[in-house]
């Protein structure tokens, strides 16, 4: 039943994409037969106005028609140019997560339910929504304490969004499994893993306590940083379905004219944004992963204030070290070291040649150097990197995709502030500092300390591990002597699962075929 519902949902999505002119915009060259057939059908049923609109506008309309889950999927796929292509990824990056606000009374009910107290007792005022997105919306409110009345922002989850997203995820998983099953090139791109990552990200985003915790952590990390801060969280008025934080009075970073009129140093803001982001990544291993201009403000003291931490990213110590070395290698043109780091990290399979990979990296890095700052595009660089990694069987590194996408966004925002902004020149002092910090003498001492701790834990666990090893040895001996056997219930369960899977697949294929025939027949009758 679930597979059938997912098939119908997927068919609806395909139909909406056809109507809005998204399918006809797909490239013809090299397209497999199913895509060419879909394009032929789409030409018959797409809206007339779709032909006169930009592809990005058609895609935006289609995703908004399909609902909040699809908008979130579109934003997520903007991080995967290796799957959707660089041009579509850029279109998706422009997708505005903007929806009609839901009723203020419904928002108050959500707040009261999650905090266990009436809104009138928690806030001295609670205004209508000032911004509404696919997952939540923001209200301006006031609170009163011993220091007087303060303005706050209250973010409230959209009613029913969790159930809707859970249903739509079944559709996304069906499409991803079909890609892996029928498209050979999809195995390297790991579409099922991508949907799993989306599901995990959305689950975290829909519990606003976790976003509040992210703000708290980032606030502690950046407490001593100059030029960057995040709003403070009011934990007393924060729960699963709402988060209350300081109201930010400032100018959006997207309003360049207003920033200049207010006397802010635009090139300094661009440099501060880029270096702050790199510090968060390399120093803290925790970064804001949705740093588009709408989420960034500049206060009266010229501090950049980041809001909406629904999407964040993390990198472990080893990943930060590899990243620092790769970036520094590009900066100083040590392409051999960049290639070696890829192999050390396990990003490139061992059967490939390091020198050949270094040559490919050089082909990407050399065009960066010696060019005008406004001619060097991080988006173009990442596109070339994806092409090279495919040649060398490098599997998609999901933990780095969010970082790469955010780097492109940060560079774009910085360039709007300063058209001559050079990301590499700005990054060099920060990256050089953390290369020394992550691979220098201090790092070696920390690695030795961590190794001693790990050895101590191993010694503590040694008796238990010995007992487990002994039991495993007996079980292997028994298996070698008697063979591995499944009990009757297990065999029956496997048989039923296989039968169910086969029936569902056949039903889905017949539904798709019948719908396509019906669409074509309708045009000629």
Minimal CA–CA distance to 201: which of 139, 276, 290? 290
Q: Which helix (H) or strand (E) holds 470?
A: helix 441-482
State the Cα angle at 70 between 211 and 27, rounded to 5°.
130
Pairing of strands 228-229, 304-306: parallel
Distance CA 200, CA 202 (A): 6
* Catalytic option among 234, 290, 308, 418: 290
Distance CA 162, CA 173 (A): 16
Helices 68-77 and 161-182, axial angle in degrees (round to 10): 50
Minimal CA–CA distance to 214: which of 275, 284, 159? 284
Which residue reads 């950046």 in tokens? 222
Distance CA 46, CA 343 (A): 47
- Asked if 290 is an active-site residue, the reply is yes
CA–CA distance from 427 to each of 30, 95, 469 (Å)? Answer: 39, 28, 50
Phi first, then psi, for residue 155 (nearest 5°) are: -95, 125
Q: Which helix (H) or strand (E) holds 294?
A: none
Phi/psi region, residue 352 (left: phi>0; alpha: psi -120 to 50; beta: rest), is beta
Pairing of strands 296-298, 251-252: antiparallel
In sequence order, the 6+-apart residues with CB closer than 8 A to the CB of 220 are none
DSSP state letter for 29: T
In sequence order, the 6+-apart residues with CB closer than 8 A to the CB of 149 are 124, 142, 143
Query: Three-state DSSP class for 19?
Result: helix
Query: Three-state DSSP class for 218?
Result: helix
In sequence order, the 6+-apart residues with CB closer than 8 A to the CB of 86 are 379, 382, 383, 386
The two structure tokens encoding residue 44 = 């018959």
CB atoms closer than 10 angstroms to residue 349: 11
Distance CA 107, CA 129 (A): 9
Phi/psi region, residue 481 (left: phi>0; alpha: psi -120 to 50; beta: rest), is alpha
Distance from chain centroid for Cα 235? 26
Minimal CA–CA distance to 37: which of 18, 52, 19? 18
State the Cα angle at 222 between 411 and 249, rounded to 5°.
75
Positions marked active-site: 290
């Amino acid at each position: 039943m679930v597979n059938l519902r997912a098939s119908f949902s997927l068919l609806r999505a395909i139909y909406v994409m056809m109507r809005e002119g998204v399918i006809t915009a797909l490239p013809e060259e090299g397209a497999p037969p199913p895509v060419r057939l879909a394009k032929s059908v789409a030409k018959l049923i797409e809206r007339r106005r779709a032909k006169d609109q930009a592809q990005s506008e058609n895609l935006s309309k289609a995703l908004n028609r399909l609902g909040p889950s699809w908008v979130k999927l579109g934003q997520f796929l903007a991080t995967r140019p290796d799957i959707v292509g660089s041009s579509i990824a850029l279109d998706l990056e422009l997708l505005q997560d903007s929806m009609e606000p839901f009723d203020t009374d419904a928002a108050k009910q959500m707040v009261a339910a999650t905090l266990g107290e009436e809104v009138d007792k928690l806030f001295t005022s609670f205004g209508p929504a000032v911004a509404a997105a696919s997952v939540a919306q923001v209200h301006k409110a006031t609170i009163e304490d011993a220091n007087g009345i303060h303005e706050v922002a209250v973010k409230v989850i959209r009613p029913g969004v969790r159930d809707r997203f859970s249903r739509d995820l079944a559709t996304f998983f069906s499409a991803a499994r079909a890609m892996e099953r029928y498209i050979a090139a999809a195995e390297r791109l790991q579409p099922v893993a991508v949907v799993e990552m989306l599901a995990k990200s959305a689950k975290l985003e829909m519990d606003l306590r976790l976003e509040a915790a992210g703000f708290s952590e980032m606030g502690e990390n950046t407490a001593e940083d100059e030029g960057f801060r995040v709003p403070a969280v009011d934990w007393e008025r924060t729960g699963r379905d709402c988060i209350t934080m300081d109201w930010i009075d400032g100018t959006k970073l997207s309003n360049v004219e207003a920033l200049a009129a207010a006397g802010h140093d635009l090139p300094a803001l661009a440099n501060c944004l880029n270096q702050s982001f790199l510090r968060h990544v390399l120093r803290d291993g925790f970064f804001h992963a949705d740093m588009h201009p709408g989420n960034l403000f500049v206060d009266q003291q010229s501090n950049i204030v980041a809001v909406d931490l629904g999407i964040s990213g993390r990198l472990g110590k080893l990943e930060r070290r590899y990243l620092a070395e790769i970036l520094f290698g590009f900066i100083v043109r040590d392409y051999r070291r960049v290639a070696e780091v890829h192999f050390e990290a396990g990003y490139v399979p061992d059967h490939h040649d390091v020198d050949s990979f270094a040559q490919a990296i050089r082909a990407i890095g050399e065009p960066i150097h010696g060019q005008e700052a406004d001619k060097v595009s991080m988006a173009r660089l990442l596109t070339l990197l994806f092409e090279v990694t495919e040649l060398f069987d490098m599997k998609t590194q999901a933990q780095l995709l969010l970082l790469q996408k955010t780097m492109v966004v940060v560079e774009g925002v910085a360039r709007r502030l300063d058209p001559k902004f050079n990301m590499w020149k700005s990054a060099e002092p920060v990256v050089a500092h953390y290369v020394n910090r992550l691979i220098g003498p201090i790092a070696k001492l920390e690695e030795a300390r961590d190794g001693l701790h790990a050895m101590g834990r191993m010694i503590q666990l040694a008796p238990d591990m010995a007992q487990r090893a002994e039991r495993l040895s007996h079980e292997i001996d028994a298996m070698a002597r008697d063979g591995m056997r499944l009990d009757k219930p297990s065999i029956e369960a496997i048989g039923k699962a296989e039968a169910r899977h086969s029936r569902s697949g056949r039903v889905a294929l017949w539904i798709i075929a019948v719908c396509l025939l019906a669409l074509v027949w309708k045009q000629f009758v």
